Structure 1
Amino acid sequence: MKLDVKPLVTVGETPGSFRRIGIVPSGTFTGERLSGKVLDGGADWQDVRSDGSTTLDVRLTLETDDGAYLTMAYRGVRHGQKDVMERLARGETVDPSEYYFRTLVTFEAPVGKYGWLNGIVAVATGHRFPDGPVYSVFEVR
Structure 2
Amino acid sequence: MTVDPRVKEVGDIRTTHLFDMVVDLDPRLPIGTGPFGHRVLFGAAGGTFHGPRLQGDVLPGGGDWALFGPDGTMRLDVRLTLRTHDGALLHMTYGGRWATPPALRDAMSDPAERCRIDPTRYYFRTNPLFETGAEPYAWLNDTVCVGSGYLVEGGIAYKVSQVL
- TM-score tier, shorter chain, comes to over 0.9
Task: Give the structure 2 partner of residue 68 of structure 1.
Answer: 88
How many angstroms does 1:84 deviate by?
A: 1.1
CA contact (8 A) 1:79 1:85 kept: no
1:15 is displaced (CA, Å) by: 1.2
Q: Which runs of 5+ in 1 are unaligned?
A: none
| Residue aligning to 2:17 | none
Q: RCO (CA 8 Å, sep 6+): is it higher in 1 or 2?
A: 2
Residue 37 (str. 1) matches residue 57 (str. 2): yes
After superposition, where does 1:119-130 map in structure 2 within 5 Å? Answer: 119-130=142-153
Partner of 1:116: 139
TM-score (structure 1 length as normaliser) = 0.96
> How far apart in 1 are the matches of 2:101 and 2:37?
19
C-alpha change, 1:111 and 1:131, in structure 2 (3 Å) is closer
Please give the residue correspondences for 1:1-141 in structure 2 after superposition, counting only pairs within 5 Å: 1-91=21-111, 92=113, 93=115, 94-141=117-164
- Gaps of at least 5 residues in structure 2 are 1-20
Q: Distance in 1 between matches of 2:122 and 2:134?
A: 38
CA drift of 1:95 comes to 1.0
Residue aligned with 1:137, SS: strand
> How many Å apart are 1:83 and its aligned residue?
2.8
User: Identity across aligned pairs (percent)?
Assistant: 40
Residues 118-127 or 8-17, more deviating? 8-17
SS in 1 for 2:60: coil
Q: What CA RMSD, in Å, does the superposition of the two structures yield over aligned residues?
A: 1.1
User: Which residue type is aligned with residue 49 of structure 1?
Assistant: G
AA aligned to 1:114 is Y
